[in-house]
Amino acid sequence: MAIKQYKPTTPGRRGMSSQDFDQITTRKPLKSLIKTKKQNAGRNNTGRITVRHRGGGVKRHYRLVNHKLAPGTVATVEHIEYDPNRSARIARIKDQNGLYHYVIADTQMRQGHKITSGAEAPIESSNRLPLSHIPNGTTIYNIEISPGKGGQMARGAGTKAQLMAKEGDYAQVKLPSGEVRRFRVECMASIGTVGNVQHQNIKIGSAGRNRKKGIRPSVRGVVMNATDHPHGGGDGGSHGPGKPPRTPWGQLTLGHRTRRRKYSNKLIVKSRHEAKRKR
């Protein structure tokens, strides 16, 4: 995939870039594998805004992607498609029983490419195997956290993880963040790298493109009134000398932990924050 540049005909077009859809083979999704997607504008089931700056955007259908291809499946890639709900491309595959599935497309998938799932599958790109049957040092993606649950990690465009070592019932995998984590060797993973590698280099360029994605403007607290934000009020944009930054609800934002994490770190071998601490 290449990045498409625009001529600076307007200030918004200057520096703007977009995706090149040369790898996409069809623009029409399979009706049986899509469903309607409701726009909630950042609101929960009671109507309260839980995520700010969300709303509007273009209408889109959700693609039913299969993240846990059944062992023994042998499928052929029929089309590479665009998915408006994720950064990666998706592949429409047809298995040996004539059933269609959507899977995340990697860099090697083309029309006619064969995909095999299961412990007996060859060690080739796009095939899906348990970690116990994948050689150390192999690049993998779409990794299961719990056996049989379906792939949950390394699914974004251009992401990849690396199988580092195996010891007993666990395998050590280096994730895209730099974290080294242990997984059960029964967990399934696909071999290769997620496609659409140049996605991270796209420049939005204009506010209108963000609005089409459903992202609304964000307003700084210092330009609000005192009744709307702790930073608001005053003359000249001041929000008080020596006052630490806060959220609109008064929570401290810099260096103050506000998340209550109740999970265990026993499966994390190396934290993704260690490299930052050494700098």
For the chain, what percentages of helix, strand and coil (3-state, to nearest 5) are there?
10, 30, 65
Instruction: Give the pLDDT score at 260.
Output: 79
Q: What is the dihedral of CA 141, 147, 149, 154, to 10 degrees?
A: -20
Please report, in tens digits, the pLDDT of each residue of the chain (279 residues total): 578 899 999 988 998 999 888 889 999 999 999 999 888 999 999 999 999 999 999 999 999 999 999 999 999 999 999 999 999 999 999 999 999 999 999 999 999 999 999 999 999 999 999 999 999 999 999 999 999 999 999 999 999 999 999 999 999 999 999 999 999 999 999 999 999 999 999 999 999 999 999 999 999 888 889 899 988 888 876 665 677 888 999 988 888 887 777 777 889 988 888 766 555
Give the Cα-Cα-Cα angle 222, 216, 228 (nearest 5 degrees): 30
> Quick count: other Cβ atoms within 10 Å of Cβ 162?
16
Quick one: tokens of 210? 């963000």
Quick one: tokens of 42? 């950042």
What lies within 8 Å, CB to CB, of 197 at 6+ separation is 1, 107, 157, 158
Please give the radius of gyration of the chain, using alpha carbons only, rounded to the nearest integer: 23
Instruction: Give the pLDDT score at 279.
Output: 55
H-helix or E-strand containing 275? helix 274-278
Domains parsed from the chain with CATH numbers: 3-200 (2.30.30.30), 219-279 (4.10.950.10)
Instruction: Give the pLDDT score at 275.
Output: 60
Cβ pair 110, 99 in contact under 8 A: no
pLDDT digits (tens, 9 = 90+) for 54-85: 999 999 999 999 999 999 999 999 999 999 99
| Distance (Å, whole) CA 14 – CA 8 | 4
Which residues of 67-147 form beta strands (DSSP E)? 74-81, 90-95, 100-104, 114-116, 128-130, 139-141, 143-144
Instruction: Give the pLDDT score at 259.
Output: 76
H-helix or E-strand containing 35? strand 34-36
Instruction: Give the pLDDT score at 15.
Output: 87
Query: What is the residue-wise DSSP string for 124-176?
Result: -TT-EEEGGGSPTT-EEESEESSTTS-EEES-STT--EEEEEEETTEEEEE-T
Instruction: Give the pLDDT score at 135.
Output: 94
